[in-house]
Amino acid sequence: GLAGLMMAVMMAALMSSLTSIFNSASTIFTIDVWKLFRRKFNHKNPTDSELLIVGRIFTLFLVGVSVIWIPVIQSLGNARLLDYFQSIQSFLAPPICAVYLLAIFWHRTTEPGAFWGLMIGLVIGAIRFVLQFSYVVPPCGSLEPDPRPEFIKMFVGNIHYLNFGIILWFITTCVTIGISLMTPPIAEEYLYRLTWSTRKSTGVRKKLADEYDDGDEDRQRCLEPTFDTPKTDETNGRTGDMEVMEIQFQQPEVPKWKQIVNAMCGVNKEDDKGQEEDPRTEEQKAIDAAEFLEEEPRWKKFVDINAIICLSICTGLWAFYA
């Protein structure tokens, strides 16, 4: 009956959250880690098929880590799973939130400031995570002794994980601001439509030089078709037997096992072919990107009012059941 319906809703929400987490994590690893690794050590850009397969393999790795993590959750004893989720978010999410907000609303944020802010916040959150889950705390009202050392009781027991999340957010914010002020700022022409104040700018944004970005020239060269050089007939100055030059693509036959693997990974034959170039100029692209953010006043007010109503209801429910 109703209990089964609620269970179905909870399972659907859990599956949705897991798929989004796995997809986001595999995308971050594939684009930000694997491509950097390939460019640095192999000096080549990976193909789309390779990136797709790497993303699938990393997703399987995350599933394995999730299964191995089950004993850690079981060690919580009678603790509620919601408390576990909220505590993990309080350890890992505040640094990301702080850097994200600073990058959008404060144009003085620099890459070293964001990097070290994230790293220091991650280290502090990981320390709190290890200290909190290294010992099994006896339930409230139990006569069993608390096995935790005194400094862990002071650092973990006296500071709730939600309060720790606020403290971690302020630490990450201060570190990011401090290091950003000590490093050279990013020029304004590199920030058009990347910050809140420049979101409607029509200026052409320059690209920051990437240390390991070799460009797409090598990749495009590999994708270009090869032409057989026609032989010249010395007697009449015309080409040999070919009146019309034919483009010959050398496509070796793909083994059966590789076809099965490609089908399972969703790899298509057309994945590695070049895409058509955008005929628009850079100035026109910038104008179109700025115009894309324009909203109708009526729908803008409608969305804003409903957002305020939803936030008010959520805040009221949170405060009521706190």
- Name the residue range of residue 50's domain: 1-68
Query: Quick check: is 24 in a domain?
Result: yes
pLDDT at 274: 52
Domain final residue pick, 68, 92, 124: 68
Domain final residue pick, 36, 53, 68: 68
Structurally, the chain folds into a number of domains equal to 2
pLDDT at 110: 93
Query: Quick check: is 206 in a domain?
Result: no
Query: Quick check: is 303 in a domain?
Result: yes
Query: Quick check: is 16 in a domain?
Result: yes
Residues of the chain with pLDDT under 70: 75-80, 210-252, 265-276
Query: Quick check: is 179 in a domain?
Result: no
Query: Quick check: is 51 in a domain?
Result: yes
pLDDT at 76: 65
Query: Quick check: is 211 in a domain?
Result: no
pLDDT at 218: 47
Query: Quick check: is 93 in a domain?
Result: no
The residue behind tokens 């302020």 is 170
User: What are the counts of helices (DSSP H) followed by strands (DSSP E) for the chain?
Assistant: 12, 0
Q: Amino acid identity, residue 117?
A: G
For the stretch 116-122, contacts whose Cβ atoms lie closer than 8 Å and that sit 24 or more positions apart, written own/partner, are 116/175, 116/176, 116/179, 117/172, 117/173, 117/175, 117/176, 117/179, 118/172, 120/95, 120/171, 120/172, 120/175, 121/94, 121/95, 121/168, 121/171, 121/172, 121/175, 122/92, 122/95
pLDDT at 167: 95
List, in sequence order, every beta strand (DSSP E) within 74-221: none
Most distant CA atoms of the chain, gap in Å? 107
Domain final residue pick, 21, 48, 68: 68
